[in-house]
A and B are shown apart, each in its own frame.
Chain A
Amino acid sequence: EVQLVQSGADVKKPGESLRISCKGSGYRFTGYWIAWVRQMPGKGLEWVGIINPADSDTRYSPSFQGQVTISADKSINTAYLQWSSLKASDTAMYYCARQTSASNIAYWGQGALVTVSS
């Protein structure tokens, strides 16, 4: 069974760093791109970026380029989304998801709520 299990909720202060994780199981981790999607409170879904765990080829949405870093460790089947200096506006639910083919993104993590507040 394909599963994506994300790290738990985090509460941070502005300026702090954070790395959230997404562990894949039940499939060949290096065979599929992993996407990160943000949902701010009361807002819609937004693409953050996507990574190929096989070679760490990474693409970012223009809104997130330079604001976050996406990485993957294929030895432990885990993808990451990290911030070096959080802002209050980073408060959101973040989902990871597996791209099966083109527009087919059928497997999603349970989401990780990031709260940034002083």
Chain B
Amino acid sequence: QSALTQPASVSGSPGQSITISCTGTSSDVGGYNFVAWYQHHPGKAPKLMIYDVANRPSGVSSRFSGSKSGNTASLTISGLQAEDEADYYCNSYTSSTTLGWVFGGGTKLTVL
């Protein structure tokens, strides 16, 4: 099972908005509303930012939002802050394997 496709890197200045895409197929992203996004700072545990495409766990800033169109899911971060600099991973349910889940390759966000 191939990983979902994410850009290797994105960047933005403080206060700007950025969007990270996550492209899959109709067997995963496009077929189910079970897409999540994780923020990962090196050496720390991943943090859930968005689940079920667009839901934000309690405690996560409203600057983070998720959406989906066709086979592509997106994570948008508005009002970029220095502490947002991290790696971001999408994760989707997939019908292609018995495990049922697949990560994206990850995107490094740099705040300029």
- Give the shortest distance, in Å, between B91 (CB) and chain A (any CB): 6
Interface size class of B (residues with CB under 8 A): 20 to 34
B48 interface neighbour in A59, A62, A105, Cβ under 8 Å:
A105
Known: A61-B97, A109-B45. A47 touches B103 (CB 8 A): yes
- Give the shortest distance, in Å, between A107 (CB) and chain B (any CB): 9
Query: Do A104 and B105 have beta carbons less than 8 Å apart?
Result: no
Query: Do A105 and B36 have beta carbons less than 8 Å apart?
Result: yes
**A62 neighbours in B (Cβ, 8 Å):** 1, 97, 99
Q: Which B53-67 residues sit within 8 Å CB-CB of chain A?
A: 55, 57
Report if A24 contacts B (CB, 8 A). no
Residues of B whose CB lies within 8 Å of any CB of A are: 1, 3, 34-36, 38, 40, 45-48, 51-52, 55, 57, 87, 89, 91-93, 97-106
A-B contact pairs, 8 of them (CB 8 A): A35-B101, A59-B99, A95-B45, A102-B52, A103-B93, A104-B55, A106-B48, A109-B45
